[in-house]
Amino acid sequence: MQNHLATQQHLQTLVTRISESEALANVQANQDTEQDRKVVSYIIHKLQAICPAWQQSLAGMGHDEKAQLMKTIKREWLNSLMAEGINQQHIIDYALNKVKESGNPFMPTVGQFIAWCREGNMPEGTKGCLESYKEIQAYIALPLESRKLSGLNPEVYHTLHNLGDFHGFRHADKKRALEIWTQEHNRTLGDLRNGKPLAVAPPPRIAIEKTHTPLDKQKAISSIQAMRAALGK
């Protein structure tokens, strides 16, 4: 009974969006590209694989009705993703992973998917907590003279900069150290998502070459003799 109710509610959510989606389609139909449509098809295909109950939303429909509904759903997603400028692969993959983690057998709404995309909107290659923890541990293991803060990834340095009790972190057991680092690194990721600037590592110290001019002994003696002669007058 509960599954049937959930299916009906999910279907109703999709149906109520049809008119809005079709209205947007009339405005934006000529604005999307083949690549945009491929992105949406990729997302929908992945969601269908991740969410096994998606077909329950189509139960009781004829073939033509199903085809029309899927067309409308894709158009809704296409319009919404284009409006948000979402097309980067790493952001989309982040949102798809969040769908997996949610464990919900039904496909998420486009609004929820976009919220996850915004959450994952960070520079490509940004390190997660565990990766950044490994980097800082490798940095700490280096001899003091070999450590260069400017060599750390920006998000790793920012986390280290804001860590606070570095001594406590360094001397904590592995489990506690990872907890401390993860808590601070999550704050760093939050700063990135919100567009806040990160602390910048100082540039490496430039070695100042010492210059030494050898003493000209004869010139020094001549200067002393000249001083003595002047004093004798």
pLDDT of residue 208: 44
**CA nearest to 48, candidates 24, 74, 68:** 74
pLDDT of residue 153: 93
d(CA 109, CA 117): 13
pLDDT of residue 40: 92
Q: Does pLDDT of 209 surpass 80?
A: no
pLDDT of residue 61: 81
pLDDT of residue 25: 47
Query: Which has the higher per-residue pLDDT, 68 or 12?
Result: 68
In angstroms, how far is the first alpha carbon of the chain from the final one? 122
Residue 195 in tokens: 């567009």
Instruction: Give the model confidence (pLDDT) of 107-160 as tens digits.
Output: 999 999 998 888 888 877 888 889 999 999 999 999 988 989 999 999 999 999
Instruction: Give the model confidence (pLDDT) of 34-57 as tens digits.
Output: 888 999 999 999 999 999 888 887
66 pLDDT tier (thresholds 50, 70, 90): confident
Instruction: Give the model confidence (pLDDT) of 81-121 as tens digits.
Output: 999 888 888 889 989 999 999 999 999 999 999 988 888 88
Q: Return the domain boundaries, the chain.
A: 2-119, 129-193
Q: Considering the entire predicted model, what is its pTM? A: 0.53
Q: Is 121 left (phi over 0), alpha (psi -120 to 50) or beta?
A: beta
d(CA 170, CA 133): 12
Residue 176 in tokens: 């506690």
Name the average pLDDT for the chain: 81
d(CA 120, CA 126): 10
d(CA 175, CA 136): 15
* Residue type present at position 216: D
% of the chain surpassing 70 pLDDT: 75
From residue 11, alpha-carbon distances to 8, 17, 18, 35, 167 in Å are 5, 10, 11, 28, 56
Q: Does pLDDT of 21 surpass 90?
A: no
Calculated CA dihedral for residues 55, 59, 63, 65, nearest 10 degrees: -100
